[in-house]
Structure 1
Amino acid sequence: MPTAIFERQDQARMRTWMLIGVFALVVAGLLFLVNTLLLFMVHPQFLPGLSAPSGQPAQLSEGIADARGLMTGFSLVLLALMGGAMLRMVLRLRSGGRVIAQDLGGEPVKADSDDPGERRLRNVVEEMALAAGVITPGVYVLREEPGINAFAAGLTPADSVVAVTRGALDKLTRDELQGVVAHEIGHIVNGDTRLNSWLLAIVHGLEAVAIQGTIYMSVPRHGRGSHRRAPGVTRDRDPHGAGTLAFGVSMYLLGLLGVFCSRLVKAAIVRQREWLADAAAMQYARYPEGLAGALKKVAAGRRLGSALLASRRQEVSHMLFAPGLGFADAILPLLSTHPPVEERISALEPRYRSWELDDVRQRMNELMQQRQAERQRGEPDIAADAMEDTGDESRVPSALRGGPLNDAVLLSTLAAAGQAETLGLRRNRAELVGVARPLHDAATDPARVRSLAVYLLLADDVEARRRQLEEVTATLGDAVHADVVALLAEYGRLPTPAHRLPLLELALPVLTDLPEAHRARLLAAVGRLLRCNGGPRDVHEYAVSRLLQLQLMGDNGGDAGEPMPMHACMDEAALVLGLLASHGCPEDPEGAYQAGMAAMLVPSPPSRQVPDAWIVPMTRALNTLAALDADGRQNLTRGLAAAAAHAGEVSVAEAELLRVIVVALHLPVPLILPTDAMSGVSGEASAEAE
């Protein structure tokens, strides 16, 4: 099902709009009930005689007209209250998924962590992101949470994070942890993290009504102290504050009713997305026993196996890998945000029986003791564990390994986005990091990763490089300047073209974990470095700078907006395809372009036009194409695959341009390396070993 990923992303977007529609209906119902309450508080004489046979309807109409101004004003206040609460939450969430992780007590996992479990987690997240073809998300651990749980959060793949509890690190094997992480990566790929963020904001807005009700309930009801009365209720009408108390209780109950309705809708939507994420986990990890094993350990802990201790666990319950509310999840099944754990296990292992859980508990306790001893020793070295072989390397798509290309190979990697084979992934990752040791160490060291990013943009011209190093001192300081010079001296030369993309891919997750001020200064320095060399002038400089912008600041030109069909942005698609054809097949760019258009089933394709100053138009085109609907994105992906395969191999420039395109369009496509990349990497690694 090559279009499955794109369809699921569109479904998530449609469900977001459906959710907003349901929210509007709930708000309208709340306004009606609150205004009815206000009417009877201002005109209590209507309460006992609504069913009176004569005169009452006319009096009621007069009462409504009399209270119309009050009801309108209070409705606006209530809308502002809910809208303001939603807006505050949305603004917080725009800072990225790390905000939610930090609210729950999460801490970032550093690349140089001395905790073996955390290093294992970071390696697994990188592997699953590589398998799914998404930007590696930030990695967080909830160190005070003993239950087995995890979540993904973020408005876009660029600002997403994956957070895992300490209990999961201590109680799960590597394969089980891989299944859990693959499930969370599936949420990112399917667009669920954006949907979940809107759910969080909407429930927060409705809870504001209940909170306002508690304010009215808590004000003094006796004496002369300054206290807030219900709208339209004067001291003469309510000398003891009873009306204000009643109004507060009513608002509180109405707010709870709104929250209940929203959570009911939330649970119905999220339960279906959990099944999809389980299916995605099997695609990425290729080992259903791992995910099933993790769920068995959750079930072995009964209702507390995945429970969270954090005070804000209710807010994020819909984001979690497994139910996080403990026994509260069993009270109202309709409000449960997850399918029953036993049903999820049975879907993965049809022969599962509950009596297996006794053995699971015993093995889990033994593993916890091993993990505790492991932490005390600070061993083993997880680098070897992360790179061990898991199968036949021939099962890895040759597009990932740098082998010869054809339509079938690229279509299995590009057109079947998000479904790439991952058997042998760890060996492929080992080869990927087999570049020269000084560069690899710098790319994975938080203290040196900015130096590596600068190093990738240094000019070949000696004079231009001297000016660039001066800019490094001015923007990033003497320490980074000295480290860049040390890299040059240690490695002896600039990185080979085939190594630049793998090095950047290794560095991006580490760069994402840097403080925001450091990331902003790095991007400013990148701009100044390129201007020193009159750039960005070529694909390499554009690719590095644009990937840094997309990863570090989520700079994709804003919200993509409503999905658009391909015919609405054919000019932009033609520009992107034409540029890819020109750089990937310079000996026959027209042939590559026409092959791409034919794969997209365009009957009368526009002529290929590639402007000399292509960088700004390319960025604008990608921003527009980010709004393509599922069919349009699938067609564009097929066109890219056909154009790239036309020459029979992937050049360095083509690989870099492809990476920018798939990241900018949020296409879940694994990293595609230049055809000669792996041979160069392996050769250099062998030379170092000697």
Structure 2
Amino acid sequence: MKRILLFILTNLLVMLTIGIILSVFGIGSYINESGGINFTSLLIFSGIVGFTGALISLAMSRWMAKRMMNVHVLKPEDNLSHGERQLVEMVHRLSQAAGMMHMPEVGIYESKEVNAFATGPSKKRSLVAVSTATLTELDADAVEGIIGHEVAHIVNGDMVTMTLLQGVVNTFVVFLSRIAAWAVSRVVKEDIAPIVHFIAVIVFQIVFSILGSMVVLAYSRHREFHADAGGAHLAGKDKMIHALRGLQAYTSRMKDSEQNAISTLQINGKKRSALFSTHPDLEERIRRLQA
């Protein structure tokens, strides 16, 4: 969940920055001399800004994850502990079984939450990171199921597909926000219209980005079922189900503490937050694997 939200936030900030810079320098002007909108110019401008924001976010994804989560990368040639070497070997074994030619970077980071994630701009530049709590709270079979799930994300190209989807969503966000801002600027005094238009663009872009994130998060939930299937194929269905059951048990143990929000392979069970969840319900995922 943290990785996905970090990607969306980075994308929004990059997109806003690019849009502001281009607007300040008058690049991609879409308002014609009569005060109307040139929809073709606006659509081209929106596509450039939208996809640039998504692609830059993808390119920065691995670097950002390492910095934000303080990931310690484990290199096979380093003097690793027994547990660290086992983790690296497990990731490499499952990656090879998935047909990957380039092994992902493997990392560990300090956290009291059971959590793991895979990220990176491509299969050649991917990262699988696991929290310390995952290694202490879950047994080896459950960890293998989780690793298989994360490797499946890389093999399935989920980050690239999400980036393309985010680019399309961004394009509509930029396009619609400027039309809405133009409409608002038309009903205010002419002398303050440019300032109102500038501020309205930023406000509408943030609002529409939040709405657009629902589409991206819906895809995120959909792709988890495919990653579960991939994890079952790589690590074994029993281990994948065991991993999900282990996460359920951990969630139950932590339900009365501040650690209730587990960031990997599960969602907050409250139905009202489902639209903003990155993962589907654990029981539904287990049911699908069993079927």
Q: What TM-score do the two structures reach when normalised by structure 2?
A: 0.66
* Aligned residue type for 1:333: A
- 2:199 maps to which residue? 248
**C-alpha distance in 1, partners of 2:131/2:177?**
30
Deviation at 1:92, TM superposition (A): 5.6
Over residues 148-179 of structure 1, what are the superposed CA-to-partner deviations in whole Å (9 max), with x where a residue is unaligned? 22222234322222222232222221111110
- 1:196 maps to which residue? 162
Q: Is the 8 A contact 1:108 1:141 kept in 2?
A: yes
- 2:287 maps to which residue? 346
* Aligned residue type for 2:208: L
Over residues 226-262 of structure 1, what are the superposed CA-to-partner deviations in whole Å (9 max), with x where a residue is unaligned? xxxx967997744xx9x955873575245423541x3
Q: Is the 8 A contact 1:153 1:197 kept in 2?
A: no
- 2:72 maps to which residue? 107
User: Residues 291 and 91 of structure 1: is their aligned pair in 2 closer, same or farther, counting only changes over 3 Å?
Assistant: same
Point out the structure with max Rg over C-alpha: 1
Does residue 276 (structure 1) correspond to residue 226 (structure 2)? The answer is yes
Q: Is the 8 A contact 2:177 2:201 kept in 1?
A: no
| 3-state SS, counterpart of residue 203 of structure 2 | helix
Deviation at 1:340, TM superposition (A): 0.6
- 1:333 maps to which residue? 274
Deviation at 1:210, TM superposition (A): 11
Deviation at 1:185, TM superposition (A): 1.6
Q: Work out the number of aligned pairs and report it.
A: 250
Does residue 174 (structure 1) correspond to residue 136 (structure 2)? The answer is no
Q: CA RMSD in A?
A: 4.2
User: Residues 281 and 255 of structure 1: is their aligned pair in 2 closer, same or farther, counting only changes over 3 Å?
Assistant: same
| 3-state SS, counterpart of residue 156 of structure 1 | coil
Q: Is the 8 A contact 2:224 2:280 kept in 1?
A: yes
Does residue 265 (structure 1) correspond to residue 212 (structure 2)? The answer is no
Query: How much identity, in percent, do the aligned residues show?
Result: 24
**C-alpha distance in 2, partners of 1:117/1:201?**
40
| 3-state SS, counterpart of residue 35 of structure 2 | helix
**Correspondence list, 1:23-62, <5 A:** none
| 3-state SS, counterpart of residue 34 of structure 2 | helix
Q: Is the 8 A contact 1:98 1:153 kept in 2?
A: yes
Deviation at 1:279, TM superposition (A): 1.5
Does residue 291 (structure 1) correspond to residue 277 (structure 2)? The answer is no
**C-alpha distance in 2, partners of 1:322/1:150?**
11
**C-alpha distance in 1, partners of 2:59/2:202?**
30
**C-alpha distance in 2, partners of 1:347/1:235?**
58
**Correspondence list, 1:451-466, <5 A:** none
Over residues 479-516 of structure 1, what are the superposed CA-to-partner deviations in whole Å (9 max), with x where a residue is unaligned? xxxxxxxxxxxxxxxxxxxxxxxxxxxxxxxxxxxxxx
User: Residues 234 and 117 of structure 1: is their aligned pair in 2 closer, same or farther, counting only changes over 3 Å?
Assistant: same
Over residues 619-639 of structure 1, what are the superposed CA-to-partner deviations in whole Å (9 max), with x where a residue is unaligned? xxxxxxxxxxxxxxxxxxxxx
Deviation at 1:207, TM superposition (A): 7.0
Q: Is the 8 A contact 2:62 2:127 kept in 1?
A: yes
| 3-state SS, counterpart of residue 113 of structure 2 | coil
- Runs of 4+ in structure 1 deviating by more than 6 angstroms, as ranges, are 204-212, 230-236
- 2:51 maps to which residue? 86
| 3-state SS, counterpart of residue 301 of structure 1 | helix
Deviation at 1:183, TM superposition (A): 1.1
User: Residues 236 and 256 of structure 1: is their aligned pair in 2 closer, same or farther, counting only changes over 3 Å?
Assistant: closer
Gapped regions of structure 2 (runs ≥ 5): 1-29
**C-alpha distance in 1, partners of 2:115/2:83?**
15
Over residues 579-601 of structure 1, what are the superposed CA-to-partner deviations in whole Å (9 max), with x where a residue is unaligned? xxxxxxxxxxxxxxxxxxxxxxx
| 3-state SS, counterpart of residue 186 of structure 1 | helix
* Aligned residue type for 2:35: A
**C-alpha distance in 1, partners of 2:288/2:143?**
19
* Aligned residue type for 2:120: G
Deviation at 1:295, TM superposition (A): 1.8
